[in-house]
Structure 1
Amino acid sequence: MWQGNQTFLADFILEGLFDDSLTHVFLFSLTMVLFLTAVSSNTLTILLICADPRLHTPMYFLLSQLSLMDLMHVSTTIPKMATNYLSGRKSISFVGCATQHFLYLSVGGAECLLLALMSYDRYVAICHPLRYTVLMTRKVGLIMAVTSWWGASLHSLIHTVILMHFPFCEPRKIHHFYCEFPAVLKATCGDILVYETTVYISSILLLLFPILLICTSYAVILHNVIHTRSAGSSRNAFATCSSHLTVVFLWFGGGIITYIRPRSQHTPLLDKVVSVFYSIITPTLNPLIYTLRNKDIAKALRRILGREIVTQRLQL
């Protein structure tokens, strides 16, 4: 019985992303630069929103939650990959793999739901600006964030528990640089057709329902903008929505390629490329897309930097 438990809880082997060639050393260094950029930019966004009272609104609260999700997403996968690469190891414990799988799936699902709910925030801001403070209160923003986290975590917990109870083929090798769902599923043994079909359907629902809500919100916004005679109002509306739409396109594009494709079309190389895109590049770009195009956050950064300079001069 103990030997059976030991086999069940045995370590997995992660194939990794890089080898020892000079090209891969450069790519690894570039990945670490992107990782540090993602961590610092998302952390800065969260701190700015928390520190500046002018940003204590539902819209920026949701933006801080998006940055928190990106921060957690990139921190769940890249540090382990970097540790294995630098140490020459390729293993990850059973508990570590299950934890990594649960966290990245929770954060990814929460971001899908949050991006959909943020489209409703944009709809209210553009189509009902005079009623925005009534329809989008702090309580509503908090409910949106809690719903995103709770719904995605429950979905992830169910799939993680079921997946990790399947027997795995020796040598328990995962052709990926972290415990991503399709790669772990390929390492299982036995009949998983029913479970795979269930996962496929749930993935479609988790991705398409938010996409449907986003499309509906922006269809109404577009209709409202077209019937607005003011050119300035139209430009402001498009400027407000462009950042969100860019992030939506980047995030859902990677999710659709990863989770809605049939299993037969998955290849280790393509899965790794797509995962690099939405687990490293997207969390790096998201805060840059929002902060570079957002005047309120830029002003908040200048105000805080101005206070720091004045404080340092007074101390001198």
Structure 2
Amino acid sequence: MSAGTAPAVGRDAVAVAAPEATSPSDPGRPVPPRRKVSWRVRLKRDRSLILMTLPAIVLLAVFAYVPLAGNVVAWQDYSPYVGIRDSPFVGWWNFQRLFTNEAFWHAVGNTLLITGFQLVFFFPVPIVMALLLNSVMTPRIRTAIQSIVYLPHFFSWVIVVTVFQQMFGGAGFVAQKLADQGYTGFDLMTDPDTFLALVTMQAVWKDAGWGMIIFLAALSTVDPALYEASVMDGANRWRRMWHITLPALRPTIILLLILRLGDALTVGFEQLILQRGAVGADAAEVLDTFVYFQGVVNGDWSFAAAAGLVKGVVAVILVLVANKIAHLFGEAGVYQKA
């Protein structure tokens, strides 16, 4: 082969090795391989952050993880007068009673109904509000509306229910205005048929502003150059929203949706128990109120513990399944793959 002839490249040719990574400041100098840092070094390096989070970890352990040991009463005929150690062991008897109890399944049905209804009519509201504020309003108006809508999040459910009672109760503002027009008998707060819509309206008024803040924070990470480039390419407002804004919100939407599914069997104990007497147990009985009345009111602690344990196990399963689905769609979810 002559010196000026390039060597032929065929299938048997050796593949050219990929170039080594180089330093951004000095392209001619290769970057040394990253060494694995031991846990002792990380502990010394991050000791300040660990000390800052230590109080929260202690509180979580004391009030969340240590009480998990008390779930053993679900397999006992527990009495607070003799304690866990001396209460007789009854095996799966409490769970058998639970799964054959019609009131339990009625509470499960009401819980899933309220959760599903709020998932459809409440979960999208903060997303829509964030999109509107992010694309339409000026910064000053956006800040003012954001503060006003966010304010009810700090109200207790007692105040929220009281406000709705003054607005939609039998002697409320709406009823009085209808009475002035010749209509009588309006009382939204005691109507079991509209209770589902009522609790959803209350949840929207109280917590939609909080969700909007989260989505606005996610939108603040979008590079404005993407919108400028899309405008130069002729994309209108709807195309920019579909191809830039919504993809930026997708990880946050999936994460909050997974967490919402984990709370599918928890729909607000305080909100519902405050209104249970007005609309009746048929409409307002959910798992949390069922556990409260069975355990605290009726004193059947083991039966209530079994119901709470079943609720917790189902919630964990829902989170794991939803997180797996998020991984299949290429999202991080609550935790990364192992």
Shared fold per TM-score greater than 0.5: no
In terms of fraction of residues, the more helix-rich structure is 1
Alignment TM-score, normalising by the size of structure 2: 0.27
Who wins on radius of gyration, i.e. which is larger? Answer: 2
Alignment TM-score, normalising by the size of structure 1: 0.29
